[in-house]
Each structure stands twice: as structure tokens, then as C-alpha cells.
Amino acid sequence: MGNYRFILSGGGTGGHIYPAIAIANELKRRHPDAEFLFVGAKDKMEMEKVPAAGYPIEGLWISGLQRKLTVKNLLFPIKLISSLLRARKIVNDFKPHVAIGTGGFASGPLLQMAAKKGIPCVLQEQNSYAGITNKLLAKHAEKICVAYDGMARYFPKEKIVKTGNPVRADLVNLGIDKEEALSHFGLKTGKKTLLVLGGSLGARRINQLVESELVFIKNLGIQVVWQCGKLYYEEYKKYESDRVRTKAFIDQMEYAYAAVDMIISRAGAGSVSELCLVGKPVIFVPSPNVAEDHQTKNAEALMAQKAALMLKERDLDDRFEGVFEELVRSESKQRLLAENIKKLAMPKATEQIVDEVEKLLNHKDGKRG
């Protein structure tokens, strides 16, 4: 068989883009001569992130339906037809051997057109509550790689393979000791340390929480590594001190994870998968502003396994201090949460997804042979 060609689509958010890039990287490692093409939505972040990772990308004129009546909704049928025609041309020109979708609007037209051409399709669903695009595409897919149990609610059972979500390779083996990690941030050894994460851009409500509770947190003897996000750094950098490290963005997350004893985080699928690998006690504060409230459902899936705590944004003012202080004071609770979240880690996710892709390639080659 000659060189393989892989077409991948996933976008709109980092939660769809980074898994697609991780899958492409593993395919490239196994098939160095393969050709790759990504397909995204024209005005979304994948148009910048994918070329930065070294892959070509084509853009479709596509977006989702708004929840209320807007001009954008009136354009939706035109955008959809335009995207389907464009996707058909891309598939015809590139002639992929396999199409891989990781969610997001652009993957809908692309995988639909690939399936029509008889190209085997693999879906990867990151969340415990399946996204609308993947639910619509399920009938076209040969395999659907998931990260949670119970996904037969959304997809045909015989197509599901539980692989977990792709995570950054540098987090699979955290070979950094705690003292080295603390010294990286200029923090003291022998003190409990909290890591606060709100995603690369930051989370306004989590930042407001930390600002209002900083004195309370420090009075418990806790030091803080606070990733407040690029959008909010100017507002919060004034809190930097010998016990508080305020960062716009943490480039070397492996140091942050090794340094800390507990974590406050959003509950996006990528974050949840990383934190399972890290194996530290986590309080999730899900974003209520995401499609189908999937962050809450992700956090609830972990709570059901006694693997994390969750506080909804609306409960932070009333419940945060009680929940946080109980966690800080109970070594046994910290241990239980850490052990249980670690059990859910699936460090070989990317390799397993690519194994499924290769099975389809072999099946296709076998039919030709």
C-alpha cells in the first residue's frame, strides 16, 4: 500500500482541536510518509492552532444554530449547503483513506461527505454527554471512541470503544519531584499548595472566587499557584506575593501539577482527562455557559465514583469555604479523592484511538488485497 492520507476535523474549542492534533501526531509517528489535512470552521481558533502544530487546514463557512432567533440562524441553511459542497470537493480532491472527527460544527459536513464516498470514519467523543454533531454523525461512523461509561445512551453499542481522551504527552510521566516543582515557582516546601485553573483564557467566576477568598485560603496556611488567564492577568497580577503566584498562563503544566496538593478547575473534557492522570484532589467548578451543560455532566460522572468534588457557580458564595476547609483538614479525604481519580486515568488513549484507525486501514487494505 502507498502513502496513507488522513483527513481530520474538530474545532471551535481547544477541547475538540487538541485531541485531533494529538491523534494526527501519533498517526504521523507510525506513518511518517502519510499526508494529513485538517478541516475547520473558517473563523474559529483551529485556523490558527492547527498550522501552528505543523498541519495544513481548510476552512468551511459553518457555525452552530444560536439558541434565540438571530440573523445568524437565518444564514444557517445557506452555510450548511455551502459547507457540504466545499467538504465534498475537499474529500474528492484529497481522497483520504480514513476520516476522523473530534466534534465541533465543521466535522459534521466533512464526515458526512466522507461517509457518502465510502471512506471509513472514526469519531472521538470527549464528554460524558455527547455533542450534537457526533450524535448526528454516529450512523456514518465505523468506530466511536469515548472516554466515559454509559455512552450507549447516545451511540450504537457495537460501535463504541472506550479509549479515554488524548492528553499531552508530557503529562503521562510526571517525573518531577515536588521540591523541584515548588522551587520552579519560588514557593516554600512544607506548605500545602493549591492550583487554580480556569483554562488558557481564564474563567471570570473562578477568578472572582479566588479574589474574594484569598485571605481565607492563606489563613488556612495554603499557598497558591493561580492561572488567572490572559484576559484577566492585568486585573489580578496585583495579588502576586511570596505565597501567591499569579500567572496569565502556565507553559510548563507538569511543574504546576507536581508542585500542588489540590486543584480547583473547570470540568472540560481535556482538563478532566489530564487531572485523572495527575491524581490530585480536585474541586470542579463547571462552566454553565457551554453547550448542553456538558462540564457539569463530566464533573458529576467523577463525583459518582467519589473521585472529585464539585461546586456549581451559583453555590460558590454559600458553600466554598465549608467544602474547601473540610478538604484541607482531612488527609483521608484528600487520599481517597486522589486514589479514585487516578483509577480513572487512561494514559494510552491516543495510541488506542490510532489502533482503531489502523484496524480500519488494515481492513480496507485486506479488501483490496
Tell me: the pLDDT tens digits for 58-96?
Answer: 999 887 655 555 666 667 788 889 899 999 999 999 999
Give the H or E element holding residue 9: strand 5-9
CATH 2.40.50.140 fits 5-167+347-368, yes or no: no
Proportion of the chain above pLDDT 90, given as a percent: 78
Beta bridge partners of 309: 283
Nearest 5 degrees, angle CA 73-CA 79-CA 85? 155
Per-residue model confidence (pLDDT) at position 80:
86
Q: Do domains 5-167+347-368 and 170-343 have the same CATH topology?
A: yes
What pLDDT, on the 0 to 100 scale, is given for residue 51?
A: 96
The whole-angstrom separation of Cα 117 and Cα 277 is: 39
Indicate the pLDDT class of residue 1, thresholds 50, 70 and 90.
Answer: very low
Q: Residue for cell digits 474547601?
A: 324
pLDDT surpasses 50 at 282 = yes
Q: CA-to-CA distance for 285 and 299, rounded, in angstroms?
A: 8
pLDDT beyond 50 at 8? yes
Q: Which of 173-182, 280-289, 299-308, 336-345 comes out lowest in average pLDDT? A: 173-182
| 10 secondary structure, DSSP code | -
| Angle between helical axes of 107-116 and 71-94 (0-180°, round to 10) | 40
User: How far, CA to CA in Å, does 263 sit from each of 73, 105, 139, 276, 343?
Assistant: 39, 32, 39, 12, 17
Q: Is 200 annotated as a binding residue?
A: yes
CA angle 109, 38, 13 (to 5 degrees): 80
Q: Per the annotation, does 13 bind a ligand? A: yes
CB contact at 8 A, 165 and 301: no
| Cβ-Cβ contacts under 8 Å for 325 (sequence gap 6 or more) | 220
Number of other residues whose CB lies within 10 A of the CB of residue 292: 12
In whole angstroms, how far apart are CA 201 and each of 154, 218, 274, 283?
Answer: 31, 25, 18, 19
Q: Which helix (H) or strand (E) holds 196?
A: strand 193-197
Domains of the chain, residue spans: 5-167+347-368, 170-343
H helical segments located in the chain? 14-30, 46-52, 71-94, 107-116, 132-137, 178-184, 204-219, 233-236, 253-259, 269-278, 294-303, 316-329, 331-343, 349-368
Cβ–Cβ < 8 Å for 7, 99: yes
Query: Does the 170-343 domain belong in CATH 3.40.50.2000?
Result: yes
- Is 127 annotated as ligand-binding? yes
DSSP state for residue 43 in the 8-state scheme: T
14 annotated binding-site participant: yes
